[in-house]
Chains A and B, each alone.
Chain A
Amino acid sequence: MARKHLMAAVAALALAAAAGGTASAAGKYIVGVSNTLIGNGWREEMICSIKAEAEASGLVSKVIVANRNGGPSEQIADIRNLISAGANAIIINPSDREALNPIIKQAADKGIVVVAVDQAVSAPEAYVLTNDQVDYAKLGAKWLFDKLGGKGEVVEMRGIDGVPADADRHQGFDEVLKNYPNIHVTSIFTGWALNKTAQATKDLLASGKQIDGVWTSGIDSTVVDAYQTAGKPFVPVVGADNNGFIGQLINLKDKGLTGAAVSNPPAVGGAGLGLALDVLQKKEHPHVVKITPTVWDNTSEAGMDELKKAYNQKLDPFYSVAINVPPYTHYTMEQILACKGP
């Protein structure tokens, strides 16, 4: 009798275990994230969009974020740790186009879906989902050079020397520049850092150098601020779709600020996860997905409408207003601002 009870108990336990097993197999994935630039508003929003998408999808049991300042060697170590932690999908914002390829191949060999977002990697195993960075620069540069009537002195405020996004943008910038022989360019690296940009802009303004327009790789409102505090008349400025810059384009138009914001959504992070989850569920996707940026200028009525629609007074000046990348993301504004993953 006792023996029978025991058998029944064991059977029940086994059944429960099996049931539990199938529940987790029904799609509780572990997601790893590797990011190597911390303290940058855009990157924070990117990570939040991954957490929000994980939450909204209901398919993810855990998001592990490896987040620190570093280069390829740190990132390789981080990805190795994420593989060991049992990640089913790894979303990376790559610090180098080539250097991560071996570790990406290792991950892919284990059946892990690797998605590079924001910047490209050349590994054929990886999925790459980025804003089209070449186009990002082309669209903004073309707007600026046309605005200047095809001639003048332009400052190109680049990002970090050597990272893929900066190289792609510079390539796009140069391609457009070839068609404008009377535009002269001075390049400066800002490292996407606020104080470096502020100091460099003020140095340029004080140097008496002729500046007719400024193209920025994203640290945009700082440039406008520097013009304001220096009491210099504004020149056309091209920036990204950062909330603070968009506010300036709307509010300082009366004071003579003209400019254009080119979209560069940090939600590529969440979109990368959306794509990874699709792939894990055996849906087909191309390996390279490029999102075409859009330009909103404050000199056209349509552009101004878009700017006003996008501006969000409650958001940090360096958070992008583009919080979704359809059809890959599914979360709400509240979910991305909550920045909580499962």
Chain B
Amino acid sequence: MSAVLQFLKARTIVALILLLALFLIGIELVRPGTVTPLWASNALLFAAPLAIMGAGQTLVMLTGGIDLSVASVATGAAYLLATNASSGDFSAIALALALGLVVGAVNGVGVALLRVQPLIMTLGTGLMTGGAMIVYSQQMLASQPHVPAIIQTLGAGKIFSLVPVDLFLWIAVGALMLYGLNRTGFGRLIFAVGDNREACHLAGIRVWRVLFVDYLLCALFAAIAGLVLVGGTNAADLSLADSYLLPSVACVIIGGTSIFGGRGGYSGTIVGALILTALTSLLTLLDVAEPLKQILYGAIILSLAAAYARLTE
């Protein structure tokens, strides 16, 4: 037993995958015959935007920060895309991504240069982005919004009706994250800044640059996730990504990244996103009252985080 625990402690990712398997068994018990290739393909389709948002969240949480503006950025990007699609797909996509860069830059300046607490900084910019989008939406009632075909394919398309298109984007993001965090100087700097900012500063590292790029990337990932989301719903409203805010943090924590920074990585977040998506699916299929579903969702996330903390202590 202790050998098993020792093994799991050394390879927490294995523990996470076992947990995911447990959820799949749970779904099969609730409704036998559900976990099919089609179910798995849907799960990947819906886990992708969460995991892409989680990529950004992993980056900032590794430095001991957090980004609470990701949901507003994703929603804003989706809404900008839909309302500007009639003036050309390319410019609409560019505008959507630009929103991510602008909010990311403001977050970066606030956290890195002005030393505002990340929680407060990103809460503020998130609210500002959301408010600005409401003002904008009321100017745009007659703008013929639609979602470009390429984004629909990205967010809902499947190759051979089985392999979701957004999986390829997710793989690209994942490869970039895993390579970037583990094999590049910038990746090591992120861990170092999260571990001991003061020491980094004394060692002559320009900490503000690391943090600035970090928050910029996070918001950009959030904007990309917004595009995937709106492709999946084929319509944008101003609450599109609201329900992704806390899961984007939760999938990082379940995946083993410390909220104090310096420890963790993206591979855990990947499995974390899959676990949360499977959990949502399980609760949809579970024939119980809505309040009970909410209680279960909260309780399961809590116990996952608690179990993980014990395992990695």
| Residues of chain A at the chain B interface (Cβ within 8 Å) | 38-41, 44-45, 47-48, 67, 69, 161, 186, 188-189, 191, 193-200, 202-209, 221-222, 225, 229-231, 244, 313-319, 336-339
Contacts and interface: CB of A to CB of B under 8 A. Distances in A.
A40 B239 contact: yes
Interface string B183-206: 000000000000000000000000
Interface of B: 31, 33-34, 36, 38-39, 41-42, 45-46, 75, 130, 133-134, 137-139, 141-146, 156-158, 161, 229, 232-244, 280-281, 284-285, 287, 290-291
Contact of A225 (B39, B156, B291): B156
Is the contact region of chain B dominated by helix, strand, or loop, or is it mixed? helix
A44 B143 CA distance: 14
Contact of A229 (B36, B156, B281): B156
A186 B42 CA distance: 21
Nearest to B75: A39
18 contacts: A38-B134, A39-B133, A39-B240, A40-B238, A193-B243, A194-B237, A194-B240, A195-B232, A199-B46, A203-B280, A205-B38, A205-B42, A206-B39, A206-B42, A316-B235, A318-B237, A319-B141, A339-B138
B176 to A, nearest CB: 25
Contacts of B229: 195
Given A206-B42, A314-B142, A225 B243 contact: no
Contacts of A47: 138
Given A44-B137, A161-B290, A200 B241 contact: no
B193 to A, nearest CB: 33
B36 A208 contact: yes
Contacts of A339: 138-139, 141
B141 A316 contact: yes
Contacts of A193: 239-240, 242-243
A221 B235 contact: yes
A225 B141 contact: no
B234 to A, nearest CB: 5
A39 B239 CA distance: 5
Which 9 pairs show the lowest CB-CB distances between chains A and B? A39-B238, A39-B239, A194-B233, A206-B39, A337-B142, A229-B156, A207-B34, A317-B235, A161-B290
Contacts of A195: 229, 232-233, 240-241, 243-244
Contacts of A48: 138, 141
B141 A39 contact: no
Contacts of B46: 199, 202
Give the most central of B139, B143, B281, B284: most A CB within 10 Å. Answer: B284
A44 B145 CA distance: 15
B238 A38 contact: yes
Contact of B235 (A188, A200, A244): A244
A121 B295 CA distance: 29
A287 to B, nearest CB: 31
A206 B38 contact: yes
Nearest to B277: A199
Contacts of B280: 199, 203
A194 B235 contact: yes
A314 B145 CA distance: 8
A91 to B, nearest CB: 16
A203 B281 contact: yes
A314 B36 CA distance: 40
A193 B130 CA distance: 16
A222 B134 contact: no
Nearest to A45: B141
Contacts of A336: 141
Nearest to A204: B284
B180 to A, nearest CB: 28
B137 A225 contact: no
B284 A225 contact: no
A48 B131 CA distance: 16
Contacts of A200: 284
A186 B240 contact: no
Contact of B239 (A38, A225, A314): A38
B285 A41 contact: no
A210 to B, nearest CB: 12
Contacts of B144: 313-315
Nearest to B158: A229
Nearest to A191: B243
Nearest to B281: A203
